[in-house]
């Protein structure tokens, strides 16, 4: 879980160099939340990342990451939600991996 949260935080902080951009990071032991908002003229881009991890019965972990990207412009708006679930056994091998994209 630390690797996921560190990678997400590094990605957000590296891209936070723009002028009118707001980034908010909340981190707990098994929960990471990142909200990012950027404005270019009349266009607004919002990205929300929620990542949770929990222990699996018999050892291992299950991590779930939900990413929501919104683009608002005067002519149209778009929203995409991606949900990724990764289940690992006690040795760290990936047992199940699922990715779902909603538009």
Residue 8's H or E segment, with its range, is helix 2-14
Alpha-carbon gap, residue 16 to 62, rounded angstroms: 29
Domain residues of the chain, as ranges? 2-102
- 15-31: average pLDDT: 78
Q: Fill in the DSSP letter of residue 2.
A: H
Q: How does residue 17 score in pLDDT terms, banded at 50, 70 and 90?
A: very low
Share of the chain above pLDDT 70, in %: 82
Question: What is the pTM assigned to this prediction?
Answer: 0.72
Give mean pLDDT, residues 54-63.
Answer: 91
| DSSP string for residues in 13-28 | HHTTTSTTEEEEEEE-
Q: Measure the N-to-C terminal CA separation of the chain; round to a whole number of Å.
A: 27
Instruction: Note the pLDDT tens digit of each residue in 48-58.
Output: 999 999 998 88
* 3-class DSSP state of 93: coil
pLDDT at residue number 1: 54
């Amino acid at each position: 879980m630390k690797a996921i949260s560190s990678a997400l935080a590094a990605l957000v902080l590296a891209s936070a160099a723009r002028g009118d951009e707001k980034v908010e990071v909340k981190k707990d032991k098994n929960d990471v939340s990142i909200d990012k908002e950027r404005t270019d003229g009349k266009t607004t881009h919002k990205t929300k990342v929620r990542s949770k991890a929990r222990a699996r019965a018999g050892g291992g972990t299950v991590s779930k990451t939900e990413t929501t990207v919104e683009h608002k412009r005067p002519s149209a708006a778009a929203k995409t939600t991606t949900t990724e679930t990764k289940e690992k056994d006690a040795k760290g091998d990936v047992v199940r991996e699922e990715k779902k994209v909603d538009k």
